[in-house]
Amino acid sequence: AQSVTQLGSHVSVSEGALVLLRCNYSSSVPPYLFWYVQYPNQGLQLLLKYTSAATLVKGINGFEAEFKKSETSFHLTKPSAHMSDAAEYFCAVSGRGSNYKLTFGKGTLLTVNP
């Protein structure tokens, strides 16, 4: 079974500061990993995905994530936070069998202070 743990249900940063959202996964096979963002009253938007190519993955809106197998981590970062980054972020894992469901973490709410 696969699972994802997001450390910190709420992260608060100042505008211009580094954003770091933590995600650790558990999987018996090499996983596919995703980060999604959800703005208030909206659906989920894909930020980036890892599918066993490059370990450093660049996504939209200046976000990137690094896959570290030794640490079973896939943390999301952005060098400089903008007010518009305030949203909820979800890490998700997908498998390689016939069931390609996404298993989500509980989410991290990012607040950006002016």
Partner 1 sequence: DSGVTQTPKHLITATGQRVTLRCSPRSGDLSVYWYQQSLDQGLQFLIQYYNGEERAKGNILERFSAQQFPDLHSELNLSSLELGDSALYFCASSVGGQGTNEQYFGPGTRLTVT
The answer to whether the beta carbons of residues 110 and 89 sit under 8 Å apart is yes
Candidates 17, 62, 104, 109: give the one binding partner 1 (CB under 8 A): 104
Q: Contact between 69 and partner 1 (CB under 8 A)?
A: no
Candidates 1, 28, 56, 99: give the one binding partner 1 (CB under 8 A): 99
Q: Contact between 90 and partner 1 (CB under 8 A)?
A: yes
Q: Read off the amino acid at residue 21.
A: L
Of the CA atoms within 13 Å of residue 34, those in its CB half-sphere come to 16
C-alpha 81 chain-centroid distance: 15
- Residues binding partner 1 (CB under 8 A): 32, 34, 36, 42-46, 49, 51, 90, 94-96, 98-107
